[in-house]
Structure 1
Amino acid sequence: MSSRRDAGGRPYTSRSLSAAVEALPGDHASVSHASVNKLANGSQDNPTAHTVVAVCKALGVPPAYLLPHHAYSDLEALQTFEDPRARHVLALLSGLSHSALDDVVAELERRRAEQGLEPVQRRDDATEEAPPSQEEPTEAPGRGRRRRSSREAAEYAADSLEGL
Protein backbone atom coordinates (compact mmCIF):
# COMPACT_ATOMS: atom_id res chain seq x y z
CA MET A 1 0.00 0.00 0.00
CA SER A 2 2.73 2.44 0.90
CA SER A 3 4.49 2.06 -2.46
CA ARG A 4 1.37 2.94 -4.50
CA ARG A 5 -0.42 6.31 -4.56
CA ASP A 6 -4.13 7.09 -4.52
CA ALA A 7 -5.83 9.57 -6.88
CA GLY A 8 -4.69 12.43 -4.64
CA GLY A 9 -1.04 11.34 -4.83
CA ARG A 10 -0.93 10.14 -1.22
CA PRO A 11 0.08 6.65 -0.03
CA TYR A 12 -2.92 4.40 0.51
CA THR A 13 -4.34 3.90 3.97
CA SER A 14 -6.60 1.02 4.92
CA ARG A 15 -9.64 3.26 4.52
CA SER A 16 -8.59 4.78 1.19
CA LEU A 17 -7.72 1.37 -0.29
CA SER A 18 -11.04 -0.04 0.89
CA ALA A 19 -12.80 2.91 -0.76
CA ALA A 20 -10.78 2.38 -3.96
CA VAL A 21 -11.88 -1.27 -4.06
CA GLU A 22 -15.51 -0.21 -3.57
CA ALA A 23 -15.16 2.31 -6.42
CA LEU A 24 -13.99 -0.33 -8.91
CA PRO A 25 -16.39 -0.76 -11.83
CA GLY A 26 -18.20 -4.03 -12.32
CA ASP A 27 -18.58 -7.03 -10.06
CA HIS A 28 -15.81 -7.47 -7.49
CA ALA A 29 -15.16 -8.47 -3.90
CA SER A 30 -16.03 -6.02 -1.15
CA VAL A 31 -13.16 -5.33 1.25
CA SER A 32 -13.65 -3.44 4.51
CA HIS A 33 -10.94 -1.15 5.85
CA ALA A 34 -10.51 -3.57 8.78
CA SER A 35 -9.85 -6.42 6.32
CA VAL A 36 -7.33 -4.30 4.41
CA ASN A 37 -5.58 -3.48 7.67
CA LYS A 38 -5.45 -7.18 8.63
CA LEU A 39 -4.04 -8.06 5.21
CA ALA A 40 -1.43 -5.32 5.48
CA ASN A 41 -0.19 -6.37 8.91
CA GLY A 42 -0.30 -10.10 8.17
CA SER A 43 -2.99 -11.08 10.65
CA GLN A 44 -5.46 -12.02 7.87
CA ASP A 45 -4.24 -15.50 7.02
CA ASN A 46 -6.77 -16.62 4.44
CA PRO A 47 -7.77 -13.94 1.90
CA THR A 48 -9.81 -15.21 -1.01
CA ALA A 49 -8.43 -14.99 -4.52
CA HIS A 50 -11.25 -12.56 -5.35
CA THR A 51 -10.16 -10.27 -2.50
CA VAL A 52 -6.53 -10.33 -3.65
CA VAL A 53 -7.53 -9.59 -7.25
CA ALA A 54 -9.81 -6.71 -6.18
CA VAL A 55 -7.11 -5.14 -3.99
CA CYS A 56 -4.56 -5.48 -6.80
CA LYS A 57 -6.94 -3.85 -9.30
CA ALA A 58 -7.48 -0.96 -6.90
CA LEU A 59 -3.72 -0.58 -6.42
CA GLY A 60 -3.19 -0.78 -10.19
CA VAL A 61 -0.89 -3.79 -10.06
CA PRO A 62 -1.30 -7.33 -11.39
CA PRO A 63 -1.71 -10.03 -8.70
CA ALA A 64 1.71 -11.46 -9.60
CA TYR A 65 3.24 -8.22 -8.24
CA LEU A 66 2.64 -9.61 -4.75
CA LEU A 67 4.74 -12.71 -5.35
CA PRO A 68 7.92 -12.96 -3.25
CA HIS A 69 10.60 -13.52 -5.91
CA HIS A 70 12.75 -10.50 -6.88
CA ALA A 71 12.21 -11.18 -10.59
CA TYR A 72 8.51 -10.39 -10.07
CA SER A 73 9.35 -6.73 -9.38
CA ASP A 74 9.28 -5.84 -13.10
CA LEU A 75 5.83 -4.24 -13.12
CA GLU A 76 5.83 -3.53 -16.88
CA ALA A 77 6.53 -7.20 -17.67
CA LEU A 78 3.89 -8.36 -15.17
CA GLN A 79 1.27 -6.08 -16.69
CA THR A 80 2.18 -7.36 -20.14
CA PHE A 81 1.80 -10.93 -18.87
CA GLU A 82 -1.82 -10.11 -17.92
CA ASP A 83 -2.56 -10.05 -21.68
CA PRO A 84 -3.61 -13.56 -22.83
CA ARG A 85 -1.76 -13.02 -26.13
CA ALA A 86 1.51 -12.49 -24.25
CA ARG A 87 0.96 -15.74 -22.34
CA HIS A 88 0.27 -17.48 -25.67
CA VAL A 89 3.57 -16.18 -27.07
CA LEU A 90 5.40 -17.51 -24.00
CA ALA A 91 3.73 -20.89 -24.42
CA LEU A 92 4.89 -20.96 -28.05
CA LEU A 93 8.45 -20.12 -26.98
CA SER A 94 8.66 -22.84 -24.34
CA GLY A 95 10.87 -25.72 -25.36
CA LEU A 96 12.92 -23.75 -27.90
CA SER A 97 16.70 -23.98 -27.70
CA HIS A 98 18.72 -21.02 -26.40
CA SER A 99 19.92 -20.17 -29.88
CA ALA A 100 16.38 -20.30 -31.28
CA LEU A 101 15.19 -18.01 -28.46
CA ASP A 102 18.07 -15.61 -29.19
CA ASP A 103 17.00 -15.55 -32.85
CA VAL A 104 13.38 -14.76 -31.88
CA VAL A 105 14.52 -11.99 -29.50
CA ALA A 106 16.75 -10.47 -32.19
CA GLU A 107 13.87 -10.52 -34.70
CA LEU A 108 11.48 -8.88 -32.22
CA GLU A 109 14.04 -6.21 -31.36
CA ARG A 110 14.54 -5.53 -35.08
CA ARG A 111 10.78 -5.19 -35.60
CA ARG A 112 10.46 -2.79 -32.64
CA ALA A 113 13.24 -0.65 -34.11
CA GLU A 114 11.55 -0.65 -37.55
CA GLN A 115 8.32 0.58 -35.95
CA GLY A 116 10.16 3.32 -34.08
CA LEU A 117 9.44 1.83 -30.65
CA GLU A 118 11.80 2.29 -27.73
CA PRO A 119 14.10 -0.67 -27.14
CA VAL A 120 13.19 -2.81 -24.16
CA GLN A 121 15.93 -3.02 -21.56
CA ARG A 122 17.14 -6.57 -21.31
CA ARG A 123 16.89 -8.04 -17.82
CA ASP A 124 19.34 -10.65 -16.70
CA ASP A 125 17.69 -12.15 -13.62
CA ALA A 126 20.83 -14.11 -12.78
CA THR A 127 22.78 -10.92 -12.07
CA GLU A 128 20.05 -8.97 -10.29
CA GLU A 129 20.42 -8.24 -6.64
CA ALA A 130 18.32 -10.35 -4.37
CA PRO A 131 15.66 -8.44 -2.48
CA PRO A 132 16.14 -7.64 1.18
CA SER A 133 15.23 -10.63 3.30
CA GLN A 134 11.65 -10.84 4.44
CA GLU A 135 10.89 -10.39 8.10
CA GLU A 136 10.61 -13.45 10.26
CA PRO A 137 7.14 -14.54 11.31
CA THR A 138 6.13 -13.36 14.74
CA GLU A 139 3.69 -14.58 17.31
CA ALA A 140 0.28 -12.90 17.07
CA PRO A 141 -0.46 -11.33 20.44
CA GLY A 142 -2.99 -13.24 22.50
CA ARG A 143 -3.84 -15.78 19.83
CA GLY A 144 -1.31 -18.52 20.49
CA ARG A 145 -0.51 -18.99 16.80
CA ARG A 146 2.16 -17.40 14.67
CA ARG A 147 1.51 -14.89 11.94
CA ARG A 148 2.64 -15.59 8.42
CA SER A 149 5.70 -13.73 7.23
CA SER A 150 5.29 -11.52 4.17
CA ARG A 151 6.95 -14.24 2.11
CA GLU A 152 4.60 -16.95 3.43
CA ALA A 153 1.56 -14.73 2.82
CA ALA A 154 2.72 -14.00 -0.74
CA GLU A 155 3.32 -17.69 -1.42
CA TYR A 156 -0.14 -18.49 -0.07
CA ALA A 157 -1.66 -15.78 -2.31
CA ALA A 158 0.22 -17.15 -5.32
CA ASP A 159 -1.09 -20.65 -4.62
CA SER A 160 -4.64 -19.25 -4.35
CA LEU A 161 -4.33 -17.37 -7.65
CA GLU A 162 -3.11 -20.31 -9.70
CA GLY A 163 -6.62 -21.27 -10.78
CA LEU A 164 -7.56 -17.80 -12.07
Structure 2
Amino acid sequence: MGVSRNEGEPQGDAGAEAQSSRPHSLAQKLKWLMAHRRDARGRAYVSRTLSQAVDDLPDPPASTSFALIAKLANGGQDNPTVKTVLALCRALGDVPPAYLLPHAAYDDLDALEAFEDPLARRVLALLRDLPESEVLKVVAHLEARRGHLGMPSPPDDGSDAGKPKRARRRRTGTEAARYAADALEGL
Protein backbone atom coordinates (compact mmCIF):
# COMPACT_ATOMS: atom_id res chain seq x y z
CA MET A 1 0.00 0.00 0.00
CA GLY A 2 3.02 2.26 0.34
CA VAL A 3 3.70 5.03 -2.08
CA SER A 4 7.18 6.21 -2.83
CA ARG A 5 7.58 9.27 -4.97
CA ASN A 6 11.36 9.35 -4.70
CA GLU A 7 14.14 6.95 -3.82
CA GLY A 8 14.82 8.42 -0.39
CA GLU A 9 11.19 8.59 0.68
CA PRO A 10 9.94 6.37 3.41
CA GLN A 11 7.61 3.80 1.92
CA GLY A 12 4.64 1.88 3.19
CA ASP A 13 4.13 -1.88 3.28
CA ALA A 14 5.95 -2.71 0.03
CA GLY A 15 9.05 -0.73 1.00
CA ALA A 16 8.97 -2.04 4.52
CA GLU A 17 8.89 -5.65 3.32
CA ALA A 18 11.87 -4.99 1.10
CA GLN A 19 13.75 -3.60 4.11
CA SER A 20 13.02 -6.39 6.61
CA SER A 21 9.67 -4.90 7.72
CA ARG A 22 11.41 -2.20 9.77
CA PRO A 23 9.51 1.09 9.97
CA HIS A 24 11.29 4.30 9.07
CA SER A 25 12.56 6.41 11.92
CA LEU A 26 11.46 9.90 12.86
CA ALA A 27 14.82 11.17 11.56
CA GLN A 28 14.37 9.56 8.13
CA LYS A 29 10.83 10.87 7.79
CA LEU A 30 11.73 14.38 8.96
CA LYS A 31 14.69 14.54 6.57
CA TRP A 32 12.47 13.44 3.69
CA LEU A 33 9.81 16.04 4.52
CA MET A 34 12.42 18.78 4.80
CA ALA A 35 13.85 17.86 1.41
CA HIS A 36 10.52 17.55 -0.40
CA ARG A 37 8.29 20.21 1.16
CA ARG A 38 8.91 23.83 0.18
CA ASP A 39 9.23 26.93 2.32
CA ALA A 40 7.61 30.29 1.52
CA ARG A 41 10.36 31.01 -1.02
CA GLY A 42 9.92 27.68 -2.80
CA ARG A 43 13.05 26.07 -1.40
CA ALA A 44 13.56 22.84 0.49
CA TYR A 45 13.75 23.27 4.24
CA VAL A 46 16.93 23.20 6.27
CA SER A 47 16.84 23.21 10.06
CA ARG A 48 17.18 27.00 10.23
CA THR A 49 14.32 27.73 7.80
CA LEU A 50 12.07 25.11 9.41
CA SER A 51 12.73 26.66 12.83
CA GLN A 52 11.78 30.05 11.39
CA ALA A 53 8.63 28.56 9.81
CA VAL A 54 7.59 27.20 13.22
CA ASP A 55 8.19 30.60 14.83
CA ASP A 56 6.14 32.26 12.06
CA LEU A 57 3.08 30.08 12.73
CA PRO A 58 0.10 31.91 14.18
CA ASP A 59 -0.10 30.75 17.80
CA PRO A 60 2.67 28.11 17.45
CA PRO A 61 2.24 25.10 19.76
CA ALA A 62 5.97 25.15 20.57
CA SER A 63 9.14 26.99 19.75
CA THR A 64 11.84 24.87 18.13
CA SER A 65 15.46 25.83 17.71
CA PHE A 66 17.29 24.91 14.54
CA ALA A 67 19.72 22.88 16.68
CA LEU A 68 16.84 20.73 17.99
CA ILE A 69 15.53 20.22 14.46
CA ALA A 70 19.02 19.25 13.28
CA LYS A 71 19.32 16.72 16.13
CA LEU A 72 15.91 15.24 15.30
CA ALA A 73 16.71 15.02 11.58
CA ASN A 74 20.11 13.43 12.20
CA GLY A 75 18.84 10.95 14.78
CA GLY A 76 20.78 12.56 17.63
CA GLN A 77 17.52 12.99 19.47
CA ASP A 78 14.45 10.85 18.90
CA ASN A 79 12.04 11.86 21.64
CA PRO A 80 10.48 15.23 20.80
CA THR A 81 7.54 16.52 22.79
CA VAL A 82 4.06 16.24 21.33
CA LYS A 83 4.00 20.04 21.01
CA THR A 84 7.23 19.95 18.98
CA VAL A 85 5.83 17.29 16.63
CA LEU A 86 2.62 19.28 16.17
CA ALA A 87 4.57 22.47 15.45
CA LEU A 88 6.86 20.77 12.92
CA CYS A 89 3.91 19.15 11.15
CA ARG A 90 2.01 22.44 10.91
CA ALA A 91 5.08 24.26 9.59
CA LEU A 92 5.68 21.55 6.98
CA GLY A 93 2.25 22.06 5.46
CA ASP A 94 -0.10 20.34 7.90
CA VAL A 95 1.50 16.91 7.63
CA PRO A 96 -0.48 14.38 9.71
CA PRO A 97 1.46 14.07 13.00
CA ALA A 98 1.14 10.27 12.93
CA TYR A 99 3.52 10.25 9.94
CA LEU A 100 6.47 11.02 12.21
CA LEU A 101 5.81 7.96 14.39
CA PRO A 102 8.33 5.15 13.77
CA HIS A 103 5.76 2.47 12.93
CA ALA A 104 5.23 0.72 9.59
CA ALA A 105 1.50 1.51 9.69
CA TYR A 106 2.35 5.22 9.55
CA ASP A 107 4.94 5.17 6.76
CA ASP A 108 2.44 5.94 3.95
CA LEU A 109 2.06 9.72 3.87
CA ASP A 110 -0.53 9.69 1.06
CA ALA A 111 -2.77 7.32 3.02
CA LEU A 112 -2.46 9.41 6.19
CA GLU A 113 -3.31 12.60 4.29
CA ALA A 114 -6.33 10.88 2.73
CA PHE A 115 -7.39 9.69 6.18
CA GLU A 116 -7.57 13.33 7.31
CA ASP A 117 -10.74 13.64 5.16
CA PRO A 118 -13.86 12.74 7.19
CA LEU A 119 -15.54 11.26 4.09
CA ALA A 120 -12.57 8.97 3.49
CA ARG A 121 -12.84 7.78 7.08
CA ARG A 122 -16.58 7.17 6.54
CA VAL A 123 -15.85 5.05 3.45
CA LEU A 124 -13.30 3.02 5.41
CA ALA A 125 -15.79 2.48 8.22
CA LEU A 126 -18.37 1.25 5.70
CA LEU A 127 -15.85 -1.15 4.14
CA ARG A 128 -14.88 -2.63 7.47
CA ASP A 129 -16.01 -6.22 8.01
CA LEU A 130 -17.26 -6.63 4.42
CA PRO A 131 -16.14 -9.83 2.69
CA GLU A 132 -13.01 -9.37 0.57
CA SER A 133 -14.98 -10.04 -2.62
CA GLU A 134 -17.28 -7.10 -1.82
CA VAL A 135 -14.36 -4.79 -1.05
CA LEU A 136 -12.76 -5.72 -4.40
CA LYS A 137 -16.03 -4.88 -6.18
CA VAL A 138 -16.11 -1.46 -4.50
CA VAL A 139 -12.48 -0.83 -5.47
CA ALA A 140 -13.19 -1.82 -9.09
CA HIS A 141 -16.22 0.49 -9.15
CA LEU A 142 -14.21 3.42 -7.74
CA GLU A 143 -11.41 2.87 -10.26
CA ALA A 144 -13.95 2.79 -13.11
CA ARG A 145 -15.61 5.93 -11.78
CA ARG A 146 -12.28 7.78 -11.59
CA GLY A 147 -11.58 6.75 -15.19
CA HIS A 148 -15.02 7.96 -16.29
CA LEU A 149 -14.35 11.33 -14.64
CA GLY A 150 -10.94 11.56 -16.34
CA MET A 151 -9.05 11.32 -13.07
CA PRO A 152 -5.77 9.40 -12.86
CA SER A 153 -5.59 6.31 -10.72
CA PRO A 154 -3.81 6.87 -7.44
CA PRO A 155 -0.34 5.32 -7.48
CA ASP A 156 -0.18 1.94 -5.83
CA ASP A 157 3.28 0.62 -6.58
CA GLY A 158 5.41 3.60 -5.66
CA SER A 159 7.20 3.85 -9.00
CA ASP A 160 8.14 7.24 -10.38
CA ALA A 161 10.40 5.99 -13.15
CA GLY A 162 8.47 7.97 -15.78
CA LYS A 163 9.00 11.33 -14.08
CA PRO A 164 11.74 13.49 -15.54
CA LYS A 165 14.30 14.73 -13.04
CA ARG A 166 14.35 18.46 -12.44
CA ALA A 167 17.57 20.29 -13.26
CA ARG A 168 19.39 21.55 -10.18
CA ARG A 169 19.91 25.27 -9.80
CA ARG A 170 23.29 26.58 -8.72
CA ARG A 171 23.38 28.33 -5.37
CA THR A 172 24.24 32.00 -5.10
CA GLY A 173 27.21 32.96 -2.94
CA THR A 174 24.94 33.89 -0.04
CA GLU A 175 22.97 30.65 -0.34
CA ALA A 176 26.19 28.63 -0.49
CA ALA A 177 27.49 30.33 2.65
CA ARG A 178 24.20 29.73 4.48
CA TYR A 179 24.17 26.09 3.31
CA ALA A 180 27.75 25.61 4.56
CA ALA A 181 26.89 27.19 7.92
CA ASP A 182 23.86 24.92 8.30
CA ALA A 183 25.95 21.88 7.36
CA LEU A 184 28.54 22.76 9.99
CA GLU A 185 25.77 23.13 12.59
CA GLY A 186 24.35 19.69 11.92
CA LEU A 187 21.96 20.01 8.98
Of 90-99 and 25-34, deviating more is 25-34
CA deviation string 1:98-138 (max 9, x = no partner):
101101111212222232322223449xxxxxxxxxxxxxx
Aligned partner of residue 87 in structure 1, secondary structure: helix
RMSD after superposition: 2.7
Deviation for aligned residue 1:31:
1.5
TM-score of the pair, normalised by structure 2: 0.54
Q: Secondary structure at the match of 1:109?
A: helix
Conserved? CA contact 2:35–2:44, under 8 Å: yes
Aligned residue for 1:116? 150
Aligned to 2:161: none
TM-score, scaled relative to structure 1: 0.61
Give the equivalent residue in structure 1 for 2:5: none
% of aligned pairs identical? 57
State how far apart, in whole Å, the 2-side matches of 1:64 and 1:75 are: 9
Q: What is the deviation of 1:66?
A: 2.7
Map 1:32-71 → 2, pairs under 5 A: 32-60=65-93, 61-68=95-102
Q: Do structure 1's residue 23 and structure 2's residue 56 form an aligned pair?
A: yes
Q: CA deviation at 1:16?
A: 0.8
Are the counterparts in 1 of residues 60 and 87 from structure 2 also a CA contact under 8 Å?
A: no
> Offset of 1:56 from its aligned partner?
1.8
Q: How many residues align?
A: 124
C-alpha distance in 2 between matches for 1:48 and 1:88: 31
Letter in 1 for 2:118: P
More divergent stretch after superposition (113-122 vs 79-88) = 113-122
C-alpha spacing 1:123/1:68, structure 2 compared with 1 (3 Å): farther
Evaluate the alpha carbon distance shift between residue 89 and residue 123 of structure 1 in structure 2; reply closer, same or farther with a 3 A threshold.
farther
* Structure 2: runs of 5 or more not aligned: 1-30, 159-187
* Compared CA separation, residues 83 and 26, structure 1 to 2 (3 A): farther
Instruction: For residue 74 of structure 1, report the CA deviation from its aligned partner.
Output: 4.2
